[in-house]
Structure formats: C-alpha cells, structure tokens
Chains A and B, each alone.
Chain A
Amino acid sequence: MNCTHDHDTLVLLYYGELTGPEQAEVRNMIATCASCQAAWQSLEADMNVIDGLVEPVRVDEMDVQRARASVRAEVLADAATTGRARPLHVVRWAASVAAAFLVFAAGWYLGAVDNENKWVDAVLFDANSQQVRIDYVGESESESSLSGSIHDAPMQRELGVILASDIDPVSRMRAARALASARIAPNVNVTNVLSDVLATDGNPVVRLQAVRALHGLFDQRPLPESVRAVLVERVEVDPNTAVRMKAMEILVASEQVSMDMQQTMQRVGSDERENPYIRFMAKRSLERLSGE
C-alpha cells in the first residue's frame, strides 16, 4: 500500500458522501491503482463485518409512547394557560406570544436578514465602537457575515431573531450580552424580546444577560408594566441566584409600588432558603414602601 492516494476518500465513497465528479475520480483511482483497489476491497469487507455487528440500541416502543404522552400533556398545559387565571403563567405566555408576534407577524423582524440556509456561527460585539458582527455558516460551509452598529434597527432586529429563536445558547447569550453592553435607547421591540427571553429561556446565562440588558435599558427610566411583571415573577421563581438578584435590584431601584410586588417582597424577605442579600433587598424595599 505505498501509493500516495488519500484512502480516507474511500470512506466517503463508501458512505455515498462524494459528488458525482468526485465519485468518478475515486472510481477511476480504484480502477487504475492496485493499492487503492486493495484498500477499497478491504474496506468493503471490513464494513460488511461491522455492519453485521453494529446495530442501534433497542428502544421499547412503550417507553417512547409514554415519553411522548407526557410531552403532549405539557404541550396541552402550555396552551391551556392562555385561558386560565394563572397570572404568572399568563404573563409568561403573553410575553412569548408578543415576541413570536413581533418576529413572525408584525414585520419588525421580517426581511431583516435572509436567514435561509444559515446557522449563526458567532456573535461578536465591540463595546468601544458599538459594532456588532454576526458570522453565519451556510449549507455549503460558505461563510458570510453581517456587520453594523447596534444602534441600527436592522442589527437590533437580527439580534432579536437570534435571541428569540436561535438553537445555540451561546449565540443567544452573546446577542443578549451585546444588548446588555450597548447604550441603546429603550424601544418596544427590543424590550419585548428581552423580557420574553428572560421569562422563558432555559439557559441561565442567557437569562442573566437578558436581565442585565433590561437593567441597562431602564436605568433611571420607568419600567413598563410587562417588564415589571416578568421581573416580579423571576424574583420568585428563577432557579438562578444571579438572575433573581439582578431582577430584584431593578425592581428595588424602580421604586414603583404595586400590590403584587409588595406581596412578593414579603414572601422573598421571609424565605429562609433565599440568598441573604436578596432577602436584605426585599426587606429594605418593604421598609421603604411602608415608610412612604
């Protein structure tokens, strides 16, 4: 086997991963080079043996059906919360609907960037220049990117699309972090996507960046009711301490009084399992509320 041909290509041939012309070239190589021919025959023989031995792990159909049934139950419960008086969940649902609406119906995002056949590869933000660059990987591994100021609406739109829908938590986290470190003026589109992400994203790092971004947006400004409701919910239910802490800080700084907030502060302030600093903030905020 002393030919200089690349025998890895034979594996690609075996798996049908070569294009027509590539295939013709490799077939020709096999036909004309004795050592390639031997390599191909031995590969085919080995693969036959492996084929006979390797088989997928057996999956019990009943197990799968049970799993799907519980998914279905949760899916239906998701849908049911729209009609029922579960305020926190309604808020969560309303926020997702709002974001989905923005993304796919109202047209704010529509036409922002042609995302067909592209995966976001990286989201880069330079805080000094306030420039964002988004790299995409295309179907054919061709790369492309979008650059621009984070203050431009199309760029905010694209970051919103990534935040609301990208599968990769790293991309969502970076999009949120870019918005968190940018000095942009609050606008309803960015606000809605951020509060939706804060309410629903499964990744704590993404939620943390989202709550930071909201903090930046509403520093010294009155909180919209929708954002306030999500923050109150987060303070009570978010499993991540840093997210609860940040949400608490924003609420305390806003000094906006409401019944549900007072109740939340009471609960959190007296919850002994809660982080001491968060409890301290809750108590201080209660004192201030009752002192005024």
Chain B
Amino acid sequence: MVPVDEHLITRAQSGDADAFDALLSRSDARVVQIVQGITGNMPDALDVFQNAALKAWRSLSGFRADSSFDTWLTRIAINEALSHRKKASRLRAVPLDDVCGPVLEEATASPDAGLLREDEERGLAAAMANLSSRERTVFTLKHVHDYKIREIAAMLDCAEGTVKNYLFRAVHKLRKHLTS
C-alpha cells in the first residue's frame, strides 16, 4: 500500500527517531483501525499500537525489505492485538502453534459498531457481528483497507488459501444477510 521509503528506513535503522516517526505517521491511523477491529475498543487499540510501534523500533534492525514497512508494522500490531486480547479475556491456553487459528475465533464476537454507519442497516450490522473475528478481520483488511491477499496472509501468518477461505465465507455471510 504505502510505498517503502528506503531512505527513511535506513535512517530509522541507524537510530534516527524522526525518521521512525515519519514512517509511523504513514501507517498509524490505518493500523489503529485494524487493531481496533481485534481489541474491540479504541483505548486498547491505541495501547496496542504503542506497544507494537515500540517493538517495531526495537527490532527494526531485523526488518527485511521483502515486505513494506506498513505490512510489517501491521503484522506486529496484529500479533500484539491478539496476545492483548488473549490476556484480556483470559481464554484457556491456546497451543502456541495455533496463534493464527482459534485465538480469533474463540473470543466472543463483539459487534464492530464503528464499522457501520449509524443504525440505518441493522441487518448488515448484525451480519458483521455474526462473522467470526477472523472472518471480520480478513474482510476488513481486504474490503476496507484494500490489502492484497498475499499481504494479509503475511500479516496473519496464514497461508493465502486460508485467507481466501475466510474472505469467501465473510462475503457469503454478508450477502446472505442482505437478501434475507
């Protein structure tokens, strides 16, 4: 999405706080939106964003230029949001290997009221709330933020096929609600 500014990244990697801030400023609002979809509320989303940004700063030397900074930061933020939510809802232990899997699914779905315009279409609001968190996250990343499936797979640490399946299911469920 956001073009990688190699110059800024090089400067940030050498410890330039201004350059890092400039990099963050290109992605911040979008990352907060995405994270909000997982945490379910804005204060937590802002906390998660801060933690993720600090993590990104501290591991910036490990940033591999194979993805854009935006995708990389989003990936860190999604992981951070998932573990935040795991802590917050004290879910039963989930095998470490399955971070991408059940975590999103298990928590009770909270309606993303903010995603929808007022209450003019309660049907669609209900449909969004009825999506599993994973379906909702994938759908939001694709439909609202226009990320490529490849990027979403990298962010969620899933296979592209998995992302496609969630997208198909989300679209199918939303459409079904529209026509019912």
**A interface residues with partner B (beta carbon < 8 Å):** 8, 11-12, 15, 17, 43, 46, 49-51, 53-61, 63-64, 66-68, 70-72, 74-76, 78-79, 96, 100, 103-104, 115-119, 137, 139, 141, 164-170, 173, 200, 202, 205
Contacts and interface: CB of A to CB of B under 8 A. Distances in A.
Given A58-B114, A68-B53, A75-B57, 9 more contacts: A50-B143, A53-B121, A56-B33, A56-B115, A56-B145, A57-B112, A63-B42, A71-B21, A103-B62
B144 interface: yes
A193 to B, nearest CB: 12
B106 interface: no
A54 B116 CA distance: 5
A53 B116 contact: yes
A117 B66 contact: yes
A61 to B, nearest CB: 7
If over half of B's interface residues share one DSSP class (helix, strand or loop), that class is named, otherwise mixed; here it is helix
Given A49-B178, A141-B159, A167-B72, A79 B15 contact: yes
Contacts of A58: 114
Contact of A59 (B32, B97, B120): B32
A67 B32 contact: yes
Contacts of A68: 21, 24-25, 28, 53
Contacts of A79: 15, 17
B148 A17 contact: yes
A46 B179 CA distance: 9
Contacts of A8: 164, 168
Contacts of A139: 66, 150
Contacts, number: 146
A71 B164 contact: no
Contacts of B11: none
Given A71-B54, A170-B99, A202-B55, A11 B171 contact: yes
Contacts of A116: 64-66
Nearest to B66: A117
B9 interface: no
B8 interface: no
Interface in B16-41: 17, 20-21, 24-25, 28-30, 32-33, 36-37
A57 B114 contact: yes
Nearest to B96: A170
Interface in B92-128: 96-97, 99, 112, 114-117, 120-121, 124, 128
B178 A50 contact: yes
Nearest to A49: B178
Nearest to B118: A53
A57 B36 contact: yes
A203 to B, nearest CB: 9
B69 interface: no
B59 interface: yes
B18 to A, nearest CB: 9
Contacts of A200: 58
A54 B72 contact: no
Contacts of B116: 53-55
28 contacts: A8-B168, A11-B167, A11-B168, A43-B175, A54-B115, A55-B144, A56-B144, A58-B114, A63-B46, A68-B21, A68-B25, A71-B21, A71-B24, A72-B17, A72-B21, A75-B20, A75-B21, A96-B58, A100-B61, A103-B61, A103-B62, A116-B66, A139-B150, A165-B64, A167-B72, A168-B157, A170-B97, A205-B96
Interface centre among A55, A75, A205 (most CB of B within 10 A): A75
Interface string B139-151: 0101111001110
A119 B151 CA distance: 12
Contacts of A72: 17, 20-21
Pick from B99, B145, B159, B164 the residue with the most CB of A within 10 Å: B164
A10 to B, nearest CB: 10
